[in-house]
């Protein structure tokens, strides 16, 4: 009963503040953005500037063939502004350097072709055909995109000169070299005979759905960590913790009621974000179990941190450092090749992966394992927070 | 008035020194800058991972190592177990006279394409010596991802400075010291400037430090300082609005969360959406600040664009300030 | 009701004690005052008795409970009125009391009755954040009575309040005393202590200098005085004369008989004067008396 009284009191206070409504409003805005602005398929922004150093008819033929084969589509011409620029280019093989110095400014209109992804039919890359090699080099430099001169000699042999920015890795450069060691026809023929075996038919999250775990973790559970601290410091400023301490009610009930408010807020806001986007696809029982347990764990962490400080400004450094460190695994989420072992020890890593698995109806074992880990960790943190609060009440 | 402004700055400085908040706001960007410097090469190296058998041809393994990160395993079972882990990795295993590429099924397309391409080239015996490609370099060494991270760091520092001001104002309100200041000769404008100086100064130092640490020595420093100063105006306006309209620290936290939406939206639109959608964020001063910093860090900025972005930041911040002026005055009195 | 033996407390556990080896007892039904200037150790002592501070050294029994053992049920018998109001700003007066009442395991008083008792009628549905300082204090005071405490801790119950409200608070304290409530009152206001307390303890620099009833202290340490203002040669002259001294008694008679009296007040020694005398600040005391 005391726990219920505490919880109802906390909800009343939360409902009379703005924060609760900001959370809900934020969730509504985000789901609106997801549904209305973010498309289900990701469209690539890769650009390439090409100068065809070959007879025009052949260049046209090659373009038309790509379009006919369905590998590309013609888009509206695009205007680019060329500004004065000065730079030096280096041939990676010979070391030869060439200096360029352009004083003029001009606007040019380029023929634009969108290369299409073979499986989705969506734009994979945008290719701009430039009339002169100098303009192509200028554009590659100013737009910081790949430029290429595709030349065909009298025997019909094609060679390509790539203009790269300079920060590309050795591996990528090596790949470019060997990708041009055989003719495209030979390479494609061999490619078609490659055997690919998948271990299962795995669902993947589409471009829009892929954002949901990020929102759930960083605007849900992680905010719970931050906001529970704000609630505690607010109560410390009001002095009501001391009033509570001289009642028969235990400190842990006070702390739990705070967490329950956070949980209520997070469950509501997370539902607003997830259900419209994912529909009936995920296992919602598992979803809410994982959400509640992980929010509890992070909120307990927030309680423990708050117990060491008197005010939010004093706690700011530690609070902020923990928040930033919890954000780092987001890189791994978006750049799968960046996946060092040490990153997996950040709590937000299994959070992101766990939500992803739930939304995909994937590895339940992984989700349950980490639910247990977070529950155990959360309980330990909670007990420590309870001990700290009892110890650090001052007159 | 100048003396009184500096008095407020001094009080805020002393208070912040004891709370160490200003120190954190200055130091944390520097620490993150070190992190970016250390991790950017790893982030930039976006080549695919491959799993292969130890018993495979040494030549095959060495060939693949030129183009990807290779992990070696003892059996096909181990390969399959490795592929089933949640990161994106493809396995290449010998089958008779050929090879098969093993995937879990949920990898991004580029993983499959890369593995197929590499194995194809290996089977064709493609070598660098036979290539018809030449590579020409513009000599740039800073990857765009690193510049983006530094730019995001700058945006975050600006927002933090605003948060510092907001918290400081909320603190003055809770302790009721605003009323104490209202019965002194310092004007409201003087109070605003005095309060803003600490947050602005601290953030500026943090930004300059972060830019230096991440190796962007040879940018146009006049431009970045100009954009930094105008961004300070933005963070001051935000900080004051948040501080004045928040009765307590929880509301201030909620306000900060709301501000993150246009900030994150500006970055997302600039980085991810096509040119034709950029106009959707023209109303956000964060967008213009981010754009200007991006151009400066990538050394493609010209004064015309920088001044335009600066004008937009100042103009939009001023509009917000003027619209909220009655509320600001009411909150300060 | 309260038994304290050899209580010591050091905040930093570095040998600097806020409270040094104090011992005292408070019997049932007594109103016991803990008097001293700021920093004397009053709040520290009260913090330990109420469980807000952990007991470091000594033996303390409060309402029959050994405070070394964590027994939250003892709070059913205790009420605490804090010096700094600490109510929920976002809740109304009634909601504050209703919520707090639910934290106890014993029957509690009707919140509306308490609101009426402290003179907050009509404000029960107003959020506490909109209350004045005095109103918040009254609400905090009312809250401390919810569980009909047997032992009542009052920390500066009237400090900063206007005389009318202070009078109301004092009346309530007296009434509770008459009903048998034991009160532990900490204050630096000697007048309040004098009015309300059965016994007082003087504490300074963490040590108790003496414990006795105010009346006994005045009898023992006080001097009966009369302040007279009279007109002599067109000027107002003020004299303070002891009634116990024969010569000065004659002087009183002389003034009454020969001069036009402006004002005349009998003056008992105040607890403050006694405190100054007892705690060893004699120089300061003598100067003020002179």
Of C194, C213, C232, the residue at which a domain comes to its end is C213
Q: What is the pLDDT of residue B13?
A: 64
- 8 A C-beta contact, residue C115 and residue C142: yes
A182: which chain B residues are within 8 Å (Cβ-Cβ)? Answer: 121, 124, 126, 130
Q: What is the pLDDT of residue C286?
A: 34
Q: What is the pLDDT of residue C276?
A: 72
Highest mean pLDDT: which range of A194-208, A336-350, A367-381, B143-157? A367-381
Q: What is the pLDDT of residue C28?
A: 92
Question: Is the backbone of residue B48 left (phi > 0), alpha (psi -120 to 50) or beta?
Answer: beta
CA-CA distance, B139 to A87, in Å (whole number)? Answer: 9
Residue C139 scores a pLDDT above 90: yes
pLDDT in tens, A278-336: 999 899 999 999 999 999 999 999 999 999 988 777 787 788 788 888 888 887 787 76
CA-CA distance, C265 to B106, in Å (whole number)? Answer: 97
Q: Are residues C232 and C271 in the same domain?
A: yes
- 8 A C-beta contact, residue B274 and residue A45: yes
Give residue for tokens 């009936």.
Answer: A280
Nearest to A89 among B20, B136, B253 (CB): B136
* CA neighbor of A56 nearest in space, from A139, A150, A136: A150
Cβ pair C87:A248 closer than 8 A: no
Highest mean pLDDT: which range of A95-109, A223-237, B241-255? A95-109
- 8 A C-beta contact, residue C184 and residue C151: yes
CA-CA distance, A258 to A232, in Å (whole number)? Answer: 8
Residue C194 scores a pLDDT above 90: no
DSSP state of B47: P
Nearest CA of chain B to the CA of A161: how many Å?
5
- 8 A C-beta contact, residue B49 and residue A340: no
Nearest CA of chain C to the CA of A309: how many Å?
16
Q: Are residues C170 and C255 in the same domain?
A: no
What residue in A sits closest to B101 (Cα-Cα)?
A196
Domain ranges of chain A: 2-39+206-392, 47-180
Q: What is the pLDDT of residue A129?
A: 94
For residue A328, give every residue at least 6 positions away whose Cβ sits within 8 Å of its Cβ, in sequence order, or none: A343, A346, A348
Q: What is the pLDDT of residue B91?
A: 93
A248: which chain C residues are within 8 Å (Cβ-Cβ)? Answer: 72-76, 103-105
pLDDT in tens, C79-98: 999 888 888 888 899 999 99
For residue C116, give every residue at least 6 positions away whose Cβ sits within 8 Å of its Cβ, in sequence order, or none: none
- 8 A C-beta contact, residue C54 and residue A391: yes
Which residue range is the domain that position C124 belongs to?
A: 2-213
C80: which chain A residues are within 8 Å (Cβ-Cβ)? Answer: 243, 246
Nearest to B137 among A92, A223, A335 (CB): A92
> According to CATH, what is the number of the domain B47-130?
3.40.50
Question: What's the whole-number mean pLDDT along residues A371-391?
Answer: 92
Q: What is the pLDDT of residue A395?
A: 43
For residue A365, give every residue at least 6 positions away whose Cβ sits within 8 Å of its Cβ, in sequence order, or none: none
Written as one string, the DSSP assignment of A119-150 is: TT-SEEEEEEE-SSHHHHHHHHHHHT-EEEEE
Count the domains in chain C.
Answer: 2
What residue in A sits closest to C141 (Cα-Cα)?
A243
The structure tokens listed for C231 are 């007109």
Complex-level ipTM = 0.77
Of C213, C247, C263, the residue at which a domain comes to its end is C213
Question: What count of other Cβ atoms lies within 10 Å of the Cβ of residue A145?
Answer: 18
What residue in C sits closest to A389 (Cα-Cα)?
C52
**Residue A69's pLDDT band (boundaries 50, 70, 90)?**
confident
Q: What is the pLDDT of residue B16?
A: 58
Question: What's the whole-number mean pLDDT along residues A144-159?
Answer: 88
The residue among B14, B106, B177, B279 with the most chain A CBs within 10 A of its CB, best to mutate, is B106
Question: Residue C261's beta-bridge partner residues?
Answer: C230
Question: What count of other Cβ atoms lies within 10 Å of the Cβ of residue A158?
Answer: 17
pLDDT tens per residue across all 333 residues of chain B: 666 666 666 666 665 555 566 677 778 888 888 888 887 776 666 668 899 999 988 999 999 988 888 999 999 999 998 888 877 889 999 988 889 999 988 777 778 888 899 999 999 888 888 888 999 999 887 788 888 888 988 888 888 778 777 877 787 777 666 666 556 555 566 666 666 777 777 778 888 888 888 888 888 888 888 888 888 888 888 887 888 778 777 777 777 777 888 888 888 888 877 777 888 889 999 999 999 988 888 877 888 889 999 999 999 988 888 887 777 766 666
Task: Enumerate residues 113 to 152 of chain B having a beta carbon within 8 A of any beta carbon in chain A.
Answer: 116-121, 123-124, 126-144
Question: What count of other Cβ atoms lies within 10 Å of the Cβ of residue A387?
Answer: 14
**Residue A41's pLDDT band (boundaries 50, 70, 90)?**
confident
The structure tokens listed for C51 are 């469980």
For residue A9, give every residue at least 6 positions away whose Cβ sits within 8 Å of its Cβ, in sequence order, or none: A257, C88, C91, C95, C99
Cβ pair A89:B109 closer than 8 A: no
Task: Enumerate residues 303 to 332 of chain B having a beta carbon within 8 A of any beta carbon in chain A.
Answer: none
How high does pLDDT run on average in chain A? Answer: 87
For residue B13, give every residue at least 6 positions away whose Cβ sits within 8 Å of its Cβ, in sequence order, or none: B22, B198
Question: What's the whole-number mean pLDDT along residues C126-146?
Answer: 91
Q: What is the pLDDT of residue B5?
A: 66
Residue A377 scores a pLDDT above 90: yes
Cβ pair B28:A339 closer than 8 A: no
Q: What is the pLDDT of residue C41?
A: 86
Q: What is the pLDDT of residue B220?
A: 86
Cβ pair A187:B120 closer than 8 A: yes
Residue limits of CATH 3.40.50 in chain B: 47-130
For helices B221-245 and B249-272, what crossing angle results, to 10°? Answer: 140
CA-CA distance, A41 to A120, in Å (whole number)? Answer: 8
End-to-end C-alpha distance for chain C, whole angstroms: 42
How far CA A335 is from CA of A166, A235, A330, C65, in Å, comes to 21, 41, 8, 61
Highest mean pLDDT: which range of B194-208, C151-165, C273-287? C151-165
Q: Are residues C170 and C66 in the same domain?
A: yes
Q: What is the pLDDT of residue B190?
A: 64
A199: which chain B residues are within 8 Å (Cβ-Cβ)? Answer: 80, 83-84, 102-105
Q: What angle do CA C252, C255, C260 make, to 5 degrees?
A: 135
Q: What is the pLDDT of residue C122?
A: 92
For residue A216, give every residue at least 6 positions away whose Cβ sits within 8 Å of its Cβ, in sequence order, or none: A270, A273, A274, A291, A355
pTM to 2 decimals? 0.79
- 8 A C-beta contact, residue C152 and residue C183: yes
Of C213, C242, C267, the residue at which a domain comes to its end is C213
- The 3-state secondary structure of chain C reads CEEEEEEEECCCCCCCCCEEEEEEEECCCCEEEEECCCCCCHHHHHHHHHCCCCCCEEEEEECCEECCCCCHHHHHCEEEECCCCCCCCCCEHHHHHHHHHCCCCCCCCCHHHHHHHCCCCCCCCCEHHHCCHHHHHHHHHHHCCCCCCCEEEEECCCCCCCHHHHHHHHHHHHHHHHCCCEEEEEECCHHHHHHHCCEEEEEECCEEEEEECHHHHHHHHCCCEEEEEEEECCEEEEEEEECCCHHHHHHHHHHHHHCEEEEEEEECCCHHHHHHHHCCCHHHHHHHHC
Q: Are residues C191 and C87 in the same domain?
A: yes
Cβ pair A12:C95 closer than 8 A: yes
Output B331 or C171, whichever has higher pLDDT: C171
- 8 A C-beta contact, residue C93 and residue C115: yes
Output C12 or A309, whichever has higher pLDDT: A309
pLDDT in tens, A13-23: 888 877 888 88
**Residue C289's pLDDT band (boundaries 50, 70, 90)?**
very low
Nearest CA of chain C to the CA of A239: how many Å?
5
């Amino acid at each position: 009963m005391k726990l219920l009284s505490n919880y109802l009191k906390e909800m009343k206070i939360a409902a009379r503040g703005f924060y609760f409504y900001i959370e809900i409003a934020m969730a509504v805005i985000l789901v609106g953005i997801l549904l209305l602005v973010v498309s289900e398929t990701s469209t690539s922004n890769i650009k390439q500037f090409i100068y065809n150093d070959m007879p025009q008819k052949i260049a046209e033929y090659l373009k038309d063939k790509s379009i006919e084969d369905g590998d590309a589509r013609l888009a509206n011409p695009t205007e680019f502004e060329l500004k004065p620029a000065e730079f030096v280019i280096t041939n990676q093989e010979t070391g030869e350097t060439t200096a360029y110095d352009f004083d003029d400014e001009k606007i040019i209109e380029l023929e634009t072709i969108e290369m299409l992804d073979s499986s989705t039919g969506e734009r994979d890359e945008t290719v701009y055909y430039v009339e002169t090699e100098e303009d192509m080099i200028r554009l590659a430099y100013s737009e910081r995109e790949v430029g290429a001169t595709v030349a065909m000699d009298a025997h019909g042999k094609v060679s390509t000169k790539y203009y790269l920015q300079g920060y590309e890795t050795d591996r990528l450069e090596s790949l470019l070299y060997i990708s041009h060691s055989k003719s495209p026809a030979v390479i494609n023929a061999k490619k078609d005979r490659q055997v690919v075996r998948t271990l299962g038919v795995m669902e993947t999250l589409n471009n829009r759905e892929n954002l949901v775990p990020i929102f759930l973790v960083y605007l849900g559970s992680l905010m719970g960590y931050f906001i529970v601290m704000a609630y505690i410091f607010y109560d410390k400023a009001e002095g009501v913790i001391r009033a509570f301490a001289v009642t028969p009610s235990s400190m842990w009930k006070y702390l739990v009621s705070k967490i329950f408010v956070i949980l209520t807020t997070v469950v509501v806001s997370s539902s607003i974000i997830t259900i419209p986007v994912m529909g009936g696809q995920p296992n919602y029982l598992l979803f809410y179990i994982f959400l509640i347990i992980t929010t509890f764990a992070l909120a307990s962490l927030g309680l423990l941190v708050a117990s060491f400080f008197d005010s939010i400004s004093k706690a700011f450094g530690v609070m902020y450092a923990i928040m930033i460190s919890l954000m780092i695994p987001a890189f791994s989420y978006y750049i799968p090749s960046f996946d060092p072992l040490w990153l997996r020890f950040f709590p937000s890593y299994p959070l992101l992966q766990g939500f992803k698995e739930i939304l995909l109806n994937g590895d339940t074992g992984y989700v349950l394992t980490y639910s247990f880990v977070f529950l155990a960790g959360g309980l330990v943190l909670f007990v420590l927070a309870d001990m700290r609060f009892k110890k650090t009440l001052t007159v | 008035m100048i003396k009184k402004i500096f008095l407020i700055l001094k009080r805020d400085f002393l208070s912040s020194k004891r709370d160490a908040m200003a120190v954190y706001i200055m130091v944390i960007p520097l620490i993150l800058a070190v992190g970016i410097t250390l991790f950017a090469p790893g982030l930039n190296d976006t080549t695919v991972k491959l799993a292969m058998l130890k018993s495979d041809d040494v030549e095959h393994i060495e060939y693949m190592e030129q183009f990807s990160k290779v992990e070696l395993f003892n059996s096909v079972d181990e390969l399959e177990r490795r592929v089933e882990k949640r990161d994106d990795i493809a396995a290449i295993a010998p089958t008779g006279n050929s090879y098969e590429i093993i995937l879990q099924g949920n990898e991004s397309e580029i993983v499959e394409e890369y593995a197929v391409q590499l194995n194809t080239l290996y089977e064709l015996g493609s070598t660098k010596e036979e290539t018809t490609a030449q590579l020409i370099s513009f000599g740039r060494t800073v990857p765009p991802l690193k510049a983006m991270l530094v730019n995001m760091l700058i945006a975050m520092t600006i927002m933090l400075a605003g948060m510092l001001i907001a918290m400081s104002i909320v603190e003055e309100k809770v302790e009721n010291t605003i009323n104490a200041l209202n019965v002194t000769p310092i004007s409201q404008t003087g109070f605003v400037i005095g309060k803003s100086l600490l947050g602005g100064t601290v953030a500026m130092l943090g930004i300059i430090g972060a830019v230096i640490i991440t190796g962007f020595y040879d940018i146009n420093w006049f431009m970045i300082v100009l954009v930094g100063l105008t961004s300070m105006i933005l963070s001051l306006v935000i900080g004051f609005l948040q501080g004045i309209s928040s009765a307590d620290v929880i509301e201030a936290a909620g306000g900060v969360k709301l501000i993150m939406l246009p900030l994150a939206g500006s970055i997302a639109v600039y980085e991810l959406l096509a040119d034709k959608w950029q106009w959707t964020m023209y109303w956000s001063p964060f967008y213009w600040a981010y754009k200007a910093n991006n151009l400066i860090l990538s050394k493609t900025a010209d004064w015309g664009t920088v001044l335009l972005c600066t004008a937009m930041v100042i103009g939009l911040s001023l509009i917000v300030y003027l619209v909220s002026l009655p509320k600001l005055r009411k909150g300060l009195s | 009701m309260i038994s304290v033996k050899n209580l010591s407390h050091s905040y930093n556990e570095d040998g600097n004690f806020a409270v040094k080896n104090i011992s005292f007892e408070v019997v049932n039904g007594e109103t016991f005052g803990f008097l001293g200037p700021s920093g004397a150790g009053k709040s520290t002592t009260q913090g330990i008795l109420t469980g807000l501070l952990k007991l470091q050294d000594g033996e303390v029994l409060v309402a029959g409970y050994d405070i070394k053992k964590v027994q939250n049920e003892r709070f059913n018998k205790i009420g605490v009125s804090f010096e700094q109001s600490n109510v929920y700003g976002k809740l109304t007066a009634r909601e504050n009391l209703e919520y707090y009442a639910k934290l106890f395991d014993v029957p509690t008083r009707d919140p509306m009755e308490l609101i009426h008792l402290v003179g907050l009628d009509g404000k029960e549905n107003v959020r506490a954040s909109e209350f004045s300082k005095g109103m918040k204090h009254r609400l905090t005071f009312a809250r401390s009575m919810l569980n009909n405490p047997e032992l009542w801790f009052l920390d500066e119950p009237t400090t900063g309040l206007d005389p009318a409200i202070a009078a109301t608070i004092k009346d309530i304290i007296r009434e509770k005393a008459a009903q048998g409530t034991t009160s532990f009152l900490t204050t630096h206001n000697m007048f309040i202590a004098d009015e309300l307390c059965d016994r007082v303890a003087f504490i300074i620099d963490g040590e108790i200098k003496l414990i006795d009833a105010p009346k006994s202290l005045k009898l023992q340490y006080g001097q009966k005085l009369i302040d007279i203002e009279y007109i002599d040669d067109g000027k107002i002259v003020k004299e303070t004369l002891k009634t116990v001294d024969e010569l000065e008694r004659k002087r009183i008679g002389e003034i009454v008989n020969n001069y036009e009296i402006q004002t005349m007040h009998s003056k008992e020694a105040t607890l403050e004067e006694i405190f100054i005398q007892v705690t060893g600040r004699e120089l300061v005391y003598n100067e003020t008396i002179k």
